[in-house]
Amino acid sequence: MFPEEMYAIVPDALDRATCNRLIDGFSQKLDDGGLVQGQSASHIRRSQITWFNETQEPAVMRRIVDMVADVNRNVFDFSLSEFAEDAQIACYAGDQRGHYDWHSDVGASDIARRRKLTMVIQLSEPDQYEGGLLQLNPAGHVFDAPMERGTAIFFPSFVLHRVAPTTAGLRYSLTQWVHGTPFR
Ligand SMILES: O=C(O)CCC(=O)C(=O)O
Ligand SMILES: [Fe+2]
């Protein structure tokens, strides 16, 4: 796979009203997301997170399912079978220097080793925060993800990525992993 094909961008994946509704609805439910493989590691990640699925957000999940099918057919062609984890909403706060250091989403646990495709949607308007850039490093070059509200960024879950320290305001994101037989 060539680097140019290591990610896909869908502008207007969600409209601004939906982004606002998700932020308003889920910001009350946020919990510490400093947990990495069951260990508190705030030097690696400092953010608050919460989760939802089709029971709470049927229309958003339908949209995500449709986009995943489309992007996978046109760009990745991975063998995908399920969403084994709920969708994650994360908040990175400027006053805490919210961030998530360089990492791959493929981990050692039963579920994390089945992650194949990662989708991140920018829920906040770029002028609502400073820093907080989502960056990918698919092949030795750092690529800055677009910041526009409602934009979805898709990449193979093994690709290194980070959220740079947020220095002001609040950055909200939505992450969905798509699972299948581990890469081999
Ligand atoms: O919030 C983001 O933009 C990325 C989140 C992320 O990388 C993760 O949850 O694994
Ligand atoms: Fe990640």
Paired with 90 in beta bridges are 49, 173
pLDDT of 97 above 80: yes
158, 175, 176: which to mutate for ligand 1, most atoms within 8 A of CB? 175
The distance from CA 58 to its chain's CA centroid, rounded to whole angstroms, is: 19
Confidence (pLDDT) at 6: 82
CB of 145 sitting under 6 A from ligand 1: no
**Residue 143, exposed/middle/buried by CB under 10 A (0-12, 13-18, 19+)?**
middle
Q: Domain span at residue 99?
A: 3-25+44-167+169-179
Tell how far the Cα of 173 is from the centroid of ligand 1, in angstroms. Answer: 7
> Where is pLDDT greater, at 33 or 176?
176
Name the helix (H) or strand (E) containing 19.
helix 16-26
DSSP string covering 64-88: HHHHHHHHIIIII-----B--S-EE
The secondary structure of 84-142, three-state, reads: CCCEEEEEEEHHHCCEEEEECCCCCCCCHHHEEEEEEEECCCHHHEEECCEEEECCCCC
CATH number at residue 75: 2.60.120.620
Between CA 96 and CA 133 the distance in angstroms is 15
Residue having the nearest C-alpha atom to atom 9 of ligand 1: 175
Q: Is the pLDDT of residue 173 over 50?
A: yes
Q: Kindly report the average pLDDT of the chain as a whole number.
A: 93
- Indicate whether 137 belongs to any domain: yes
Of 63, 48, 59, 51, the C-alpha closest to 12 is 63
Residue 59 CA to residue 68 CA, distance in Å, equals 14
- Contact 120 CB / ligand 1 (< 6 Å): yes
Centroid of chain to Cα 50: 12
Q: Ligand 2 center to residue 134 CA distance, Å?
A: 10
Residue 35 has pLDDT above 60, yes or no: no
User: Which tens digits make up the pLDDT trace of 124-158?
Assistant: 999 999 999 999 998 889 999 999 999 999 999 99
Q: What percent of the chain has pLDDT over 90?
A: 84
Tokens read off for 42: 């705030």
- DSSP 8-state symbol, 172: E
Amino acid of residue 100: Y
1 has pLDDT over 50: no
Q: Does any domain span residue 30?
A: no
CA of 56 to the centre of ligand 2 (A): 23
Nearest CA, atom 5, ligand 1:
175
What is the pLDDT, as a whole number, of residue 24?
Answer: 97
Tell me how many domains the chain contains.
Answer: 1
Q: Which of 41-55, 57-71, 106-120 has the lowest mean pLDDT?
A: 41-55
For ligand 1, the distance from its centroid to the CA atom of residue 177, given in whole angstroms, is 10
pLDDT at 42 over 90: no
- This complex has an ipTM of 0.99
Is the shortest distance between the CB of 124 and ligand 1 below 6 Å?
Answer: no
Which pLDDT belongs to residue 40? 59
Determine, yes or no, domain membership for 37: no
- Residue range 77-94, pLDDT digits in tens: 999 999 999 999 999 999
- Answer yes or no: is 31 within a domain: no
Cβ–ligand 1 distance for 6 under 6 Å, the answer no
Mean pLDDT of 10-17: 97
pTM of structure: 0.94
How many angstroms separate the Cα of 1 from the Cα of each of 7, 74, 161? Answer: 10, 14, 17
